[in-house]
């Protein structure tokens, strides 16, 4: 089963509603250009207003100690787990570069894939998605790590993205920058269907596709390259 098929399976079971009331069916249809010197855009995602609040009145730091008494991803329903990820079991999927966005990973959900898994990461469905196939990537779920990005998490996240799809987007937001759960995680997105369509792109993706929008920030190292916006 492919990752997106697993996501659609949960959707069919009523675990997640996409699109929800008032939401567009594609990323492109939910976006409105705001214009101006910075060419900013706004995306409508009403369902995100219902995500779990952090419930912290005053933030003095983006670093908070992990609190097992608060909600964390070790408390999700087992049905929310899409797969357990171990890079040692997978190979890169470069052959998918021009095809669909959700190729299959081996052993997508073996019987021993649960909240007690010792695999390096769990992939969980996002219950309040901003787009179809929106998922949560949780490194070391049993370690109880706070929402602070580490080198190990970046490497593991890149390993997953390379094996999931060359078209996958992986993002991280800290406490104070939109993260509502103080448990180390990243967001994963498959915004398009693999077709060269503007409606299949995130606004940033469409912007980066413009000529001259990107400048190389460092020499490429293997499949990893670093760029910055102009």
Asked if residue 216 belongs to a domain, the reply is no
Residue whose C-alpha is closest to residue 147's, from 215, 96, 71, 88: 71
Share of the chain above pLDDT 70, in %: 68
pLDDT classification of 94: cutoffs 50, 70, 90: very low
Q: Which residues form the domain of 119?
A: 3-52+67-206
Asked if residue 195 belongs to a domain, the reply is yes
pLDDT at 27: 63
pLDDT at 96: 42
Q: What is the pLDDT of residues 57-88, one digit of tens each?
A: 677 788 888 889 989 999 999 999 998 998 88
Asked if residue 229 belongs to a domain, the reply is no
Asked if residue 72 belongs to a domain, the reply is yes
Asked if residue 187 belongs to a domain, the reply is yes
pLDDT at 165: 77
Locus of tokens 């990537």: 137
Top-confidence residue, 177 or 147: 147
The overall average pLDDT reported for the chain is 77
Q: What is the pTM of this model?
A: 0.77
Asked if residue 218 belongs to a domain, the reply is no
Asked if residue 95 belongs to a domain, the reply is yes
C-beta of residue 191 within 8 angstroms of C-beta of residue 144: no
Whether the per-residue pLDDT at 224 is higher than 50: the answer is yes
As for how many domains the chain has, the answer is 1
Task: Report residue 125 as tokens.
Answer: 């469905």
Asked if residue 59 belongs to a domain, the reply is no
């Amino acid at each position: 089963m492919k990752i997106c098929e697993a996501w659609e399976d949960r959707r069919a079971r009523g675990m997640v509603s996409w699109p929800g009331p008032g939401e567009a069916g594609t990323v492109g249809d939910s976006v409105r250009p705001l214009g101006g010197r910075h060419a900013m855009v706004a995306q409508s995602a009403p369902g995100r207003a219902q995500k779990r609040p952090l419930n912290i009145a005053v933030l003095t730091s983006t670093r908070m100690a992990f609190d097992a008494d608060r909600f964390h991803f070790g408390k999700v329903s087992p049905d929310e787990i899409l797969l357990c990820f171990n890079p040692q079991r997978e190979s890169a999927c470069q052959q998918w570069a021009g095809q669909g966005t959700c190729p299959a990973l081996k052993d997508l959900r073996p019987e021993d894939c649960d909240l007690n898994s010792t695999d390096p990461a769990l992939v969980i469905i996002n219950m309040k998605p901003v787009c179809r196939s929106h998922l949560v990537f949780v490194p070391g779920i049993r370690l109880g790590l706070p929402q602070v990005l580490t080198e190990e998490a970046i490497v593991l996240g890149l390993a997953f993205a390379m094996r999931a799809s060359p078209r996958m987007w992986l993002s991280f937001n800290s406490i104070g920058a939109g993260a509502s759960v103080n448990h180390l995680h990243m967001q994963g997105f498959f915004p398009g269907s693999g077709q060269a369509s503007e409606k299949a792109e995130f606004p940033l993706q469409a912007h980066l596709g413009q000529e001259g929008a990107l400048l190389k920030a460092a020499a490429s190292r293997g499949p990893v390259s670093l760029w910055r916006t102009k």
